[in-house]
Amino acid sequence: MRIDATVARLRLRPHHSRRFSLRLAHPGLGDGQTRTRDVRLMPKRGPPMQGNRTITADDLRQFTGTENWHRHNLARGVLFTDGAKFAADRAGAYWLLDEIAFGQRHRKVAVEGFQLWRLRVDLAKKAGSLACEDGNGKAVYRKRIPYTDFPLDEIILYFADGVILLPSEY
C-alpha cells in the first residue's frame, strides 16, 4: 500500500524525475526481512520536445556518412545512422523509423536488398502516404498515414543491409 500511495503521488507530476526507497523482499534474506533500494521511476532525459518542430532539407543534406550506429529498440536487427536519428529527433518521427523497421516483415519488402522509403505529407491536411520502392521507381509497399505532424512535405530514407539512412549518407 505504501508503494502505491507513493507512485500515485508521483504521477501528479510526471515531468519530474523522483527517487524513492522501495522495500524489497530478497531471496537471500529470511522471512520478514527486507532490503531497501533506490528506484528511479522515470529516466533522466533531455529537454522535452518543443511544439515547433523545425527541420529543413538542408539540415538533412549536411549528413555524409555516420560516426555512430544506433540500434532500433524493438527490431534489434535494424540499425540507423546519425542522420536518420537527427531527422527522428528533430521532427518527432521515431514512428517513421518504426514503420521502416516493421515493414521488413512483409515478404515483398524484405526481398529487396535496397529500399527507398518515401514519406509524402499534405501539410494542410496533416496526412500522408508512405511508400517503399525497389530503387527503380517500382512501389512494393504502400501505407496511408491518416495523421502526421511531420514538418516536411517529403522525406526519403534508404534501407540497405539492415541500416536506415539518409540519401546523403549512402
- For the segment 73-87, the average pLDDT, to the nearest whole number, is 93
* Per-residue pLDDT tens over the stretch 116-151: 999 999 999 999 999 999 989 999 999 999 999 999
CA-CA-CA-CA torsion for 71, 77, 82, 87, nearest 10 degrees? Answer: -100
* Per-residue pLDDT tens over the stretch 35-78: 554 445 444 444 444 455 689 999 999 999 888 999 998 988 99
pLDDT at 14: 43
CA-CA-CA-CA torsion for 75, 73, 146, 92, nearest 10 degrees? Answer: -150
pLDDT at 31: 53
Query: What pTM does this model have?
Result: 0.69
CATH code 3.30.70 for 57-169: no
Cα–Cα distance measured from residue 148 to residue 162, given in angstroms and rounded to the nearest whole number: 25
Q: Where are the domains of the chain?
A: 2-40, 57-169
